[in-house]
Amino acid sequence: MKALVATDYGSFDNLKFAEIEKPVPGEGEILVKTRAVSVNPVDWKIVTGQRQGSFPAVFPYVVGWDLSGIVEDRGHAARRFNVGDKVYGYIRRPQLKDGTYSEYVLVPECYLCKAPDKISLKDASAIPLAGLTAYQALTVFGHLHRGETIMILGASGGVGTLAVQISKIMGAKIIAIASASNLDFLKNIGADYCFDYNDATWVEKVTEISPDLVLDCAGGETRDKGVPAVSKEGRVVSLTAREFPDKTINFTGMLVEPHSLNLELLTSWIEQGKLKPFVSKYFKFDHAIEALKLNQEGKTRGKIVVTIGD
């Protein structure tokens, strides 16, 4: 089977397509015929060496953590799904080895969840990593309550677009921070206030609103300027930093965990029409490296999806 593998850390030059053996499911494992994978910044950050040491790797490893596909085969006692079921999941294993950018993926069934019927299987691949991040950031780490105000820095990206919708479901007021070209889009998906991070007055405006929770999906200058706008008793959850220089701010860095029960909840919201992925571009598998490079430019609205099967 064909897979996209990384032979070392350092650059995109270490990525290549390889023919590897199609695996056979063992105890508790499912073999998934891949329909699509979505691009997450972590995929190219690991390849380019920015996460070196954070995740142990066995080279050459198959790239990618998001997956949607169809159950092809089941191992001993793997009975949560039937052959032919549509499934999806965030498959971050303890080490980088058997990723998802592959025609077939062998995975312990605990990582998987039945894919929603309401959206296509290829669009479903855009949900797991980004959706679980948004959900865990708002609930487990951010303790967002109905009626509170959340500010989402980098609201137009993969995590941000899902965080806007989940915040709405949770009954929060939403301040979305993005570039000018994404503000109407964010208003349309549920943001109450939208500000352009290139507008010199945005920090002053959001400080006046004084959000209860800040979710940082942006990093850099937007994070450093936006975080201090949090209310005095407020919380900050960051996807891009573990610490913040101002220690008086209640600041928590997080790493998303695979969690099929959380994913089931997101699936139910998708089925109810309350949550949906926004896929801005599809690539065929042969062009997966271009997809990763496009995401690296930092301007993806919603998600980029790489389709693998038919």
Ligand X SMILES: NC(=O)c1ccc[n+]([C@@H]2O[C@H](COP(=O)([O-])OP(=O)(O)OC[C@H]3O[C@@H](n4cnc5c(N)ncnc54)[C@H](OP(=O)(O)O)[C@@H]3O)[C@@H](O)[C@H]2O)c1
Which residues are within 8 A (CB) of 169 and not within 5 positions of it... i.e. 6 or more apart?
269, 274, 275
Could you tell me which stretch among 63-71, 207-215, 248-256, 270-278 binds ligand X (CB under 6 A)?
248-256
d(CA 241, CA 140): 17
Nearest to 293 by CA among 4, 3, 61, 93: 4
d(CA 159, CA 168): 14
Q: Does 178 bind ligand X (CB under 6 A)?
A: yes
Nearest distance in Å: CB 45, ligand X: 6
Of 68, 165, 182, 262, the one binding ligand X (CB under 6 A) is: 182
Q: Per CB under 6 A, does 23 bind ligand X?
A: no
Helix, strand, coil % in the chain, rounded to nearest 5: 30, 25, 40
Residues sharing a CB contact under 8 Å with residue 272, sequence separation 6 or more, in sequence order: none
Element (H, E) at 161: helix 158-169
Which contiguous run of DSSP H or E holds residue 69?
Answer: strand 66-74
H or E stretch including 88? strand 86-90
Closest residue to ligand X in the complex (CB): 157
- Which of 240, 274, 287, 290 forms a contact with ligand X (CB under 6 A)? 240
> Residue 60, preceding bond cis, omega within 30 degrees?
yes
Q: Which residues lie closer than 8 Å to 23 by C-beta, 6 or more apart? A: 31, 98, 104, 106
Nearest distance from residue 281's CB to ligand X, in Å?
A: 12
* Contact pick of 3, 5, 31, 42 for ligand X (by CB under 6 A): 42
18 is a site residue for ligand X (CB under 6 A): no
Q: From 22, 115, 16, 110, select the one nearest 60 (Cα to Cα).
A: 16
- Of the candidate spans 52-60, 87-95, 201-209, 294-302, the one that interacts with ligand X by CB under 6 A turns out to be 294-302
From candidates 100, 156, 260, 307, binder to ligand X by CB under 6 A: 156
Q: How far apart are CA 177 and CA 59, in angstroms?
A: 38
Site string (43-82) toward ligand X, x via CB under 6 A = --x-------------------------------------
Q: Which is nearer to ligand X, 30 or 63 (CB)?
A: 63
Residues 8, 255, 268, 271: which binds ligand X (CB under 6 A)? 255
Write down the least CB distance from residue 137 to ligand X, Å: 8
Which stretch, 25-33, 69-77, 93-101, 212-220, contacts ligand X (CB under 6 A)? 212-220
C-alpha 308/C-alpha 283 separation (Å) is 9
Please, what is the minimum distance in Å from the beta carbon of residue 29 to ligand X?
Answer: 25
Identity of the residue, 130 or 263, whose beta carbon is nearer to ligand X in the bound complex: 130
The reply to whether 222 sits near ligand X by the rule CB under 6 A is yes
Residues that bind ligand X (CB under 6 A): 40-42, 45, 130, 133, 153-154, 156-160, 177-179, 182, 197, 217-220, 222, 239-240, 254-256, 295, 298-301
